[in-house]
Amino acid sequence: MINDLLKGRAVILGSLSPRRRELLGKLDIDFDVAEPSSSEIPPPYTALNKVAETIALEKARSIASKLNDGDILITADTVVISGNTLMPKPSRRSEAVGCLRRLSGGDHRVITGVALVDTNKERLFSEETMVFFDHIDSTAIDYYIDRYKPYDKAGGYGIQEWIGYLAVRRIEGCFYNVMGLPVNRLFKEMNLFITS
């Protein structure tokens, strides 16, 4: 198992997200947490399907100088793309309402980019999940936003919350990716990273 490969190496999750902490913990890996200091704004002209990877790498590089030899740093960023539009992480109610109205009754892509970094190398990958929403009426949108306040979430929703049970008709791909960390893929990529 991966813990055998990790002996003598510290794992650091560069994220304050409670969802990412919970998901990484499910792999039975001991880890510490560090806060990245990057802006989460992609450079101009970044391709939509590379935004999450680009931000994940910026997060990693904001922490990497503090790594000790042998440490493995994990950072991630999740984006929601509807059509050709990168959906925001809403900072106010009107933005959250706009996100859910746009996603209602349609499909969207959720891409999580992940960076694995140590003092010698970097490895980037991303995972994509398609999410299909039923129509969400304005009463349900208001209820969800007022009760759950999804202001830190890509696309203005958390699939593991009330709105996910109500609105998600189906998904194609990894459920945990939509929560913010594709743990199945991460496990495989960590093994490759450690042994390369």
Question: How far is it, in rounded angstroms, from Cα 130 to Cα 133?
Answer: 10
Question: How far is it, in rounded angstroms, from Cα 118 to Cα 107?
Answer: 36
* Helix and strand counts by DSSP (H, E) for the chain: 8, 7
Query: What does the block give as tokens for 34?
Result: 């560090």
Burial class from Cβ neighbours inside 10 Å (0-12, 13-18, 19+) for residue 82 reads middle
Question: How far is it, in rounded angstroms, from Cα 75 to Cα 102?
Answer: 28
Question: How far is it, in rounded angstroms, from Cα 137 to Cα 146?
Answer: 14
Catalytic residue positions, numbered: 77
Angle subtended at Cα 184 by Cα 181 and Cα 186, rounded to the nearest 5 degrees? 60
SS3 23: helix
Q: Are 14 and 72 within 8 A, CB to CB?
A: no
